[in-house]
């Protein structure tokens, strides 16, 4: 009885590949159709996708190529039961939180056409709203999903804005039609990584559905440099770090193999002491440790700028084996940057 009521009320959800001409015969014309998948035989048909363009510092993925699939991880929806409403989906590495509840729907007949989609029978997430915001628990270098409007056989312009914080990194706009023109909305960052994605449309498709949520987290560590100035027999040291993707979470250092300390400002070390330093980004990538100080071969510098009365020179990564070279460098008399 419950199933009959759902069908009668038009609440049994499915992606049905039925042309608009069948609408007056009771066939569904949207995701939220009035028949179950087994009751409809989908005719063969092709649909060309129209890519409207991109803006910003991103690289677009037009279709789910094998390279795109291999280099990303998919968040499975298999653990959700049909018609379950959720406000987030997750795997072991990333949680995607939505700005409203979405409903998990089974796809019984056709979701787009190959190779424009990964499979024609995916699980999808549906919302009656014409916009959807996704917040990522970790910065992603690549993020993508397949997108379709609720209403069939009418093209709608959709835009996916990719954000880092509240700043738009880039945007993709595509004109998409269901059920045969489902499109991939996916991008790889070329500068800042993604922490949020917002889907909008200027049309009124009475809702939208997404599938195949894929991502690749930022795996590039920050880079840290030391600036050293010699004052008598000591060095004044300042550390600076940068990370173009997810940003620097912290910089830390230790002296003479002591405890690691969070860098909060300049400090000094003796000319016979050792210094190690590194940074961590907001994704958790840890930079390889840099070393400064005496070793068996001489005095080692790694990622070091030298500040003297004549200015700042560097960066240097080298071991100084001669006392005269050491003095020339820190007195600003110059020396080759590599050896």
Residues 46 and 193 in one domain: yes
Query: What is the rounded distance in angstroms from the CA atom of residue 80 to the CA atom of residue 50?
Result: 32
- CATH number where 302 lies: 2.60.40.10
Q: How buried is 183 (Cβ within 10 angstroms: 0-12 exposed, 13-18 middle, 19+ buried)? A: buried
Structural domains of the chain, count: 2
Residues 292 and 319 in one domain: yes
Choose one of 217, 249, 271: the last residue of a domain: 217
- The overall average pLDDT reported for the chain is 84
In a domain, 52, yes or no: yes
Residues 130 and 245 in one domain: no
Q: Is 102 helix (H, G, I), strand (E, B) or coil?
A: strand
**What is the mean predicted confidence (pLDDT) over 68-74?**
97
Residue 334: pLDDT band by 50, 70, 90 thresholds? low
Residues 273 and 201 in one domain: no
In a domain, 146, yes or no: yes
Residue pLDDT, tens place only, 232-286: 889 999 999 998 888 899 999 999 999 999 999 999 999 999 999 999 998 889 9
Asked which of 44-58, 113-127, 277-291, 312-326 is least confident by mean pLDDT, the reply is: 44-58
Choose one of 183, 202, 217: the last residue of a domain: 217
Which pLDDT score is estimated for 6? 30
In a domain, 339, yes or no: no
Taking alpha carbons only, the member of 302, 298, 155 closest to residue 228 is: 302
Residue 257 DSSP code = T
Residue pLDDT, tens place only, 137-148: 999 999 999 999
Residue pLDDT, tens place only, 154-208: 999 999 999 999 999 999 999 999 888 899 999 999 988 999 999 999 989 999 9
Domain that holds residue 285: 223-330
Which pLDDT score is estimated for 132? 98
Choose one of 166, 201, 217: the last residue of a domain: 217
Residue pLDDT, tens place only, 51-68: 478 899 999 999 999 999
Query: What is the rounded distance in angstroms from the CA atom of residue 226 to the CA atom of residue 274?
Result: 13
Residues 177 and 32 in one domain: yes
């Amino acid at each position: 009885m419950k199933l009959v009521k759902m069908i009668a009320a038009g609440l049994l959800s499915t992606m049905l590949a039925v042309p608009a001409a069948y609408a007056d015969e009771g066939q569904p014309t949207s995701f939220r159709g009035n028949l179950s998948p087994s009751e409809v035989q989908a005719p063969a048909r092709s649909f060309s996708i129209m890519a409207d363009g991109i803006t910003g510092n991103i690289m677009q993925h037009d279709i789910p190529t094998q390279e795109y699939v291999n280099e990303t991880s998919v968040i499975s929806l298999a653990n959700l039961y049909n018609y379950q409403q959720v406000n987030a989906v997750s795997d072991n590495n990333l949680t995607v939180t939505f700005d409203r509840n979405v409903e998990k729907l089974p796809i019984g007949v056709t979701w787009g056409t190959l190779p424009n989609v990964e499979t024609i029978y995916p699980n999808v997430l549906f919302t009656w709203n014409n916009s959807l915001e996704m917040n990522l628990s970790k910065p992603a270098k690549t993020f993508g999903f397949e997108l379709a409007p609720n209403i069939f056989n009418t093209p709608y312009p959709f835009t996916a804005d990719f954000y880092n914080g509240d700043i738009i990194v880039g945007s993709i706009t595509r004109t998409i039609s269901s059920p045969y023109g489902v499109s991939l909305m996916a991008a790889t960052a070329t500068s800042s990584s993604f922490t949020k994605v917002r889907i909008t449309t200027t049309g009124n498709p009475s809702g939208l559905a997404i599938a195949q949520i894929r991502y690749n987290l930022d795996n590039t560590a920050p880079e840290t440099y030391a600036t050293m100035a010699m004052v008598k027999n000591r060095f004044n040291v300042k550390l600076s770090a940068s990370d173009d993707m997810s940003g620097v979470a912290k910089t830390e250092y230790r002296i003479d193999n002591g405890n690691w300390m969070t860098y909060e400002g300049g400090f000094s070390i003796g000319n016979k002491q050792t210094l190690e330093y590194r940074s961590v980004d907001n994704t958790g990538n840890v930079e390889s440790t840099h070393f400064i100080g005496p070793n068996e071969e001489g005095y080692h510098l790694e990622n070091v700028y030298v500040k003297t009365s004549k200015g700042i020179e560097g960066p240097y990564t080298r071991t100084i084996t001669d006392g005269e070279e050491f003095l020339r460098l820190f007195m600003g008399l110059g020396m080759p940057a590599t050896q």
